[in-house]
Amino acid sequence: MSLSFPITALLLLTQFTWVWTSLNQTVLWPRETDRSYFGTSSRNEAARASSSHVRARSIKDTKHLELLVVVGHDVYQFHKQDTERYVLTNLNIAAELLRQPSIGAQLRVHLIKMLILTEPEPEVTITTNLTSSLIGVCQWSRKINPEKDSEPLHADLVLFVTRFDLESDNGNQLVRGVTQLGGLCSHTWSCVITEDTGFNLGITMAHEIGHSFGIRHDGEGNECTGNGHIMAAEGGYNSVDLTWSECSRERFVTFLCTEQATCLRNLPATELYLSGRKPGLYYGADDQCKIAFGDKASACTFNSQDIDMCKVLSCHTDPLDHSVCTRLFIPLLDGTECGPNKWCLKSSCTSLGDLGPIGVVHGAWSRWSPQSDCSRTCGGGVTLRHRQCNNPRPAFGGRTCEGSQLHADMCNTEPCWEMQLDFMSRQCSDTNSQPLYLTEKVPVYYKWLPALGYATGDALCKYMCRVEGKSFMVSRGDFFVDGTRCELGSSDSATSHGVCVAGRCQVFGCDGRLESGMVLDVCGVCGGENSTCRELLGSYTAGAAREYVTFLTVPPGSTSVHVSNSKSVYSHLALKVKGQYLVAGKGKISLNVTYPSRLEDNRMMYRLYLTRENFPHSEEIIIPGPTNETIEIQVYRKYRPEYGDIVNPNITFSLYIPKNQSVYTWIPVTQPCSATCGTGVGRVQYICADGQTEEEVDTQHCSETLQPPARLELCSTTPCPPGWEVGPQGPCSVTCGGGWRERDMHCVRREGRKELRVADLECGSIPKPESVQKCNTQDCPARWRVSAAGPCSASCGVGVAQQAATCVQIINGTDVEVNETWCGETERPTVLTQCIVSICLSELGTESWPGVSKKLGKEVETPGNGTSSPSVSVGSQTFLWVPRTGPCSASCGEGVADLSYMCVDRETHEETQPEHCLQTFQAQVHQVHCTNQPCPPQWRYETDTCSVTCGGGVRRRILYCARDVGLREELAPDGDCLHSPRPADHQPCSLHPCPARWRVSEPRRCSAVCGAGVAERSVTCLQFQNGSDVEVNRALCGAETEPPAIVPCLVNICPFGLQASNWSECSHSCGIGIRTRQELCLNLDSQQPVHRSFCDHLPTLLTTQSCDAGPCPTPGTSTPLAPTTSTTQALPATTQPPAAAPPPANGTQRL
């Protein structure tokens, strides 16, 4: 399809960038992105009236140009959230130019609508074919622009902004805009295409709108010069000084007098608000540099004295090298601050006092940027929105913006397959292939690990990594990936997330929002009220020697778990998960542990606290939870309980579980005290019970932990009152038929384990028990009763006596004779019994001894009454058994004596061999009671506990005076025992040696002047012996528990700083040369040089600069003026020598 239309007007712009390095100049072409925002400005028309001639020919009625601005998607992708402000700023620059009095009429520009395309528009295609591009834009604009001028949203002109590099048909790439000459107010051709080239875009807009008025380039078909005006063919850069030429003014006035200009005569029904403030209030010098040279550019920190800083845009393009300034020969925007109380106006740095009264400008926020993509796919990334306080910037004493410029939310929080620490480690290890220059031009390669534990907060987020096996850390880049976890180093760490965002360790609430202040309650509920869980409390002081014993099983879902042991010298805690020990487990106490790492949300922390002598003082386990699995908390004790309470652990614990969840544990249950008053003993047994209700359940619920053994413990009640002590029952007086038995009765008072006998009067209020009781009341069987024997038939020696036998039965305690048949078949006793009156001393024949005869010197038994004689005759001698009583067993009180029989010669009365007497008659030896005088009282004592458990101590004796009365002990006054020696009040005890232990001294001086170092201390093996510590062989303490002799120490934080030496002499004796100096990293406390890596966080000092040694005295030549130091500083390592080029006379050059 071919169309014919009038000539298309083109705007050709040229652009140069000058880099000043020494005396050389080079041309650069900036093409970088920008992320800034600023507004618009307006001018006082009366102050800009050019001449009376212009005023005389100006049109009095104000004309109104209604614009619809369309921003292409490529412009949006480049400027992002700053797109609207950026386009408005350039549009206002164009509006300022169109309002200049030099145009010959009062023209006002109204923005009816701005349309920003965030995605490509299929019907709009911008190519190198300008004609087809303009046709496509004009045709598409008719769909979005109402046709009738009377409609409120109708625009007189559609202005399309693109970043496509426009190109003319002849290949000229300096084209910056295209429109139909005189196409304004035309339904078909009222559209303009402009190319975004930075702040020249405002001039391009004004230039192309001028073409739409029918204005041609200056010098094309008219007599106006080609440069210095808005409609110059090659464009311009000075948005302040450019004016409309007389040719442009005459053409515009002519256009206004035609019917084609009728669309300019009506006021718009609506328009978008355009600020009247200067654009420099929205875009500072730094922002203008970023627009021209990219995000890393910044305004120069020094100025050349040969040119006003407002006339050129001077920028540092290398963030690591601020010794070089790159110049773009365009003026700074009006309103840009150029000094204290100064700003740029018409390319000149002007004092505020020269501008008249100016009101304060309060800062205002820009719009929020679109939400960024999540920085991580799992593990908790962040999505960000930004805004800036530049809409406008605060000026002239105005307030800055309130609130945060960053909004961040956590995203993709589901766990990754790797830990948070692994994610940080991977970022550090990714830099292993990047060399570190500890010495200039000498690369060194290391393996890099996270500096976790060595740096916290913002410092850690600055990509801080440490060298494996070395003692220094270095920032390996700008910062870690957003979403990398960091250690807050504050109390917030337990309930909030520390997340790296743009190199800073930011605090995120548990709701995943930046600085929301939301925290987890003890139940693990974000922002909860501690109402969905219940607390379990407990304590433990037992355990088994040299064994790990589980005393607490933490179920899944538990929160706020806290376990502490305040006696960790001879016991320590352990933590076990799935059969694996995470804390301790090898029979010795653990160092501080955080598992899996300090960066994990669901972590377990163990902390050990030491005394000043570096002995374990206490320890604790903290698990914020919620726990995902069953966790066993154990205790290990070195010694058995008999060593005393000092070796027992003292453990308390608390945890929270959901209210609908039960935890089962062994709880102690004490049986009733053995005494109702005074001190007794209670048995403590452990039962399996619900940890909350303490109701007993089946023991299988506690099968995962070992049941503690039962134990006895003392129990004390109220003191006992005096009472009757009833002795044991005596024997019954009879075995049947009803008898009596008696028992002793005393009034006593119990004091501890002793019973003191007191007067019976003290027990008067207590009924005295009966001391005599009936016994054996059952009827006795009938029996034979033998009467006492009658007179012995012999006057000496052995004879017989007669006795009567009757059948009797005990009735009511008295023998009553009954019929002999009641005695049944029991054998009736004999009526004769043997008797011995005394030993016959006269010679008697053997015939007088019944049953004994003398025959051949042998013992001959003769017939008799069936009994044997107690005597034997051998020859003429007669022998018989005689009783003999031994000594009493007690010298006082009651005792026993042995009663035996000896064989004696009847004639001599002397003891002889037992064989001479009749063996069948010898009675067995037996004991008989003997009574002496009562025994005197003696000192007695009871002992107290030993003062120590080992190593030799003393035990106190409690002395008292007492005597034995029968089988009982009876107290007596102390005066009754004065006759006996008083025992010592103390006695030695626990003489066995104590277990050896390690003792460490105070650490000696730290090896470091500041920062971290090491210190030595002495470690000795001691044993408590005889009341004092004695050094013993180290093997007795055990090498596995030996404390380290070298411990870490921290004096204070080392301050480091950079210091430079004096400048060297100039390398040339005349003309321009260079001079150098050395840079040193110093410990500011000791003033000693340290490794350069300690100062990597500080900006590098200038070590090389040019110097002017004065003009060289060579005749006939002259030395060009050297630039000032502020414009010629350079680091040789980062700046390439530019190609020489003479500077243009006016700062621009046509290509």
- Report the run of H or E that residue 1083 belongs to, with start and end: strand 1079-1083
What pLDDT, on a 0 to 100 scale, did the predictor assign at position 349?
A: 86
Residues 6+ apart with CB under 8 A from 171: none
Give SS3 for 1039. Answer: helix
Common-topology check for domains 522-661 and 664-720: no
What pLDDT, on a 0 to 100 scale, did the predictor assign at position 273?
A: 55
The rounded radius of gyration (Å) of the Cα atoms in the chain is: 59
**What Å distances lie between residue 419 and 359, 478, 480, 501, CA to CA?**
56, 23, 16, 19
- Is 208 part of the annotated catalytic residue set? yes
Nearest 10 degrees: CA dihedral of 669, 674, 680, 686?
-20
Nearest in space to 995 (alpha carbons), one of 542, 541, 546 = 546
Annotated binding site: 66, 149, 156, 207, 211, 217, 263
d(CA 278, CA 89) in angstroms, rounded, equals: 9
d(CA 561, CA 704) in angstroms, rounded, equals: 19
Give yes or no for a contact between 545 and 640, defined as CB atoms under 8 angstroms apart: yes
Q: Which of 84, 96, 195, 208 is catalytic?
A: 208
**φ, ψ (nearest 5 deg) of residue 361:** -115, 115
Give SS3 for 109. Answer: strand
DSSP symbols for 673-688 = PS-SSSEEEEEEEEEE
SS (HEC) of 152-193? CCCCCEEEEEECCCCCCCCCCCCEEEEEECCCCCCCCCCEEE
d(CA 915, CA 877) in angstroms, rounded, equals: 13
Give yes or no for a contact between 1032 and 951, defined as CB atoms under 8 angstroms apart: no
What pLDDT, on a 0 to 100 scale, did the predictor assign at position 480?
A: 93
Give yes or no for a contact between 210 and 242, defined as CB atoms under 8 angstroms apart: no
DSSP symbols for 300-319 = -SS--TTS-TTTSEEEE-BT
**φ, ψ (nearest 5 deg) of residue 782:** -65, 150
Annotated binding site for Ca(2+): 66, 149, 156, 263
Annotated binding site for Zn(2+): 207, 211, 217
Q: Which CATH class is domain 664-720?
A: mainly beta
Pick the CATH number of 522-661 from 2.60.120.830, 3.30.56.10, 3.40.30.10, 2.130.10.10: 2.60.120.830
- Report the run of H or E that residue 501 belongs to, with start and end: strand 497-501
In one-letter notation, the amino acid at residue 197 is: T
Residues 6+ apart with CB under 8 A from 990: 946, 948, 949, 950, 951, 952, 953
Domain 51-272 matching CATH 3.40.930.10: the answer reads no
Sign of CA dihedral 1031, 1033, 1038, 1039: positive
Give yes or no for a contact between 583 and 593, defined as CB atoms under 8 angstroms apart: yes
d(CA 525, CA 531) in angstroms, rounded, equals: 9
Residue 421 neighbours by CB distance under 10 Å: 17
Residue stretches of the chain with pLDDT short of 50: 1-59, 841-869, 1114-1151
Nearest in space to 41 (alpha carbons), one of 239, 338, 241 = 239
Give yes or no for a contact between 559 and 628, defined as CB atoms under 8 angstroms apart: no
Give SS3 for 940. Answer: strand
State pTM to two decimals: 0.48
d(CA 121, CA 119) in angstroms, rounded, equals: 6
d(CA 1069, CA 1077) in angstroms, rounded, equals: 18
Give SS3 for 375. Answer: coil
**φ, ψ (nearest 5 deg) of residue 986:** -135, 160
Nearest in space to 77 (alpha carbons), one of 35, 105, 112, 106 = 35
- Report the run of H or E that residue 622 belongs to, with start and end: strand 616-623
Domain ranges across the chain: 51-272, 396-508, 522-661, 664-720, 939-1052, 1056-1112
d(CA 623, CA 1067) in angstroms, rounded, equals: 67
Helix, strand, coil percent content, the chain, rounded in steps of 5: 15, 35, 50
- Report the run of H or E that residue 286 belongs to, with start and end: helix 285-293
Nearest in space to 631 (alpha carbons), one of 701, 579, 554 = 554
At CA 550, angle to CA 544 and CA 556, rounded to 5? 175
d(CA 292, CA 630) in angstroms, rounded, equals: 61
* pLDDT (tens digit per residue) in 454-474: 888 888 899 989 888 887 888
What CATH topology corresponds to 1056-1112? Answer: TSP-1 type 1 repeat (2.20.100)
**φ, ψ (nearest 5 deg) of residue 338:** -125, 5
